Structure 1
Amino acid sequence: MINKISGTEIRALAKHICMSPHKARRVIDQIRGCSYEQTLMILELMPYRVCYPVFKLVYSAAANASHNMGLNEADSFISKAEVHGGAMMKKFKPKARGRSYPIKRPTCHITIVLKERKKSPLVV
């Protein structure tokens, strides 16, 4: 995992996750715009295999926010979540009569961006 900090947003990036980008987007679309705590609950309860790498990535981004920037994890939310296709791993499976068939294992890159919610001032 590669973690970057730019401005007030905290960015975490996971590369070469052995998962189809289409299957990863199914989970990422559910957590986009949610708060940090709500995101962790959603990811723990969803039955998909990609939830664990995304959970680790969100947790890492929140840890970076609290350690490097001093931000409160409870006040942060997922402002941007993206999935991009990575390199395709290609193998050949031997079949009958000396033939072979290709096996393509897709990978994906997942980017999570956390931002802190703006607190509205009280008008007196």
Structure 2
Amino acid sequence: MEAKAVAKFIRVSPRKTRLVAETVKGKPVEDALNVLRFTPKKPARILSKVLYSAIANAEQKPGVDVDALVIDKIIVNEGPTWKRIKPRAMGRAYRIRKRTSHITVVVKEA
């Protein structure tokens, strides 16, 4: 039995989020939460929230042992990019791209 949680339009770069997601992919949820708790990066906090949501979704299904859950997939896709400008010297403007992410966490019983 598998359960899934999705977070969309999260204001963190997908490239940086994938680095943190690769560290917990395939691990039991308890170990993954401990790794994320002590990872000093912004995506770690966001990923732990999505993982907690996936665990809560799994608890809703009958006959699921929460202690035996393992992270099956973590998918980090690119969301829409916010475009801003930064004024520069002599009337120029540089483009700033504020990237967003769509994060999907799938957990299943081992």
Q: How many matched pairs?
A: 109
- Percentage of identical aligned residues: 38
After TM superposition, the runs of 4+ consecutive aligned structure 1 residues lying more than 3 A away are: none
- Cα distance, 1:47 vs structure 2: 1.0
Corresponding residue for 1:121?
none
Corresponding residue for 1:12?
5
Larger Cα Rg: Structure 1 or Structure 2?
Answer: 1
> After superposition, what is the alpha-carbon deviation per residue over 1:71-91, rounded to whole angstroms, capped at 9, x for unaligned?
222110101111111111101
Residue 69 (str. 1) matches residue 50 (str. 2): no
2:74 to 81, 84, 87: 81
Aligned AA (2:92)? R
Pairwise CA RMSD: 1.0
TM-score when normalising by structure 1: 0.83
Residue 42 (str. 1) matches residue 57 (str. 2): no
Aligned AA (2:61)? M
TM-score when normalising by structure 2: 0.93
Instruction: Compare 94-103 and 19-28 and name the one that shifted more.
Output: 94-103
Give the distance between the partners of 1:28 and 1:69, measured in 2 at CA.
Answer: 25
Corresponding residue for 1:99?
92
The structure whose RCO (Cα within 8 Å, separation 6+) is larger is 2
Give the distance between the partners of 1:107 and 1:78, measured in 2 at CA.
Answer: 23
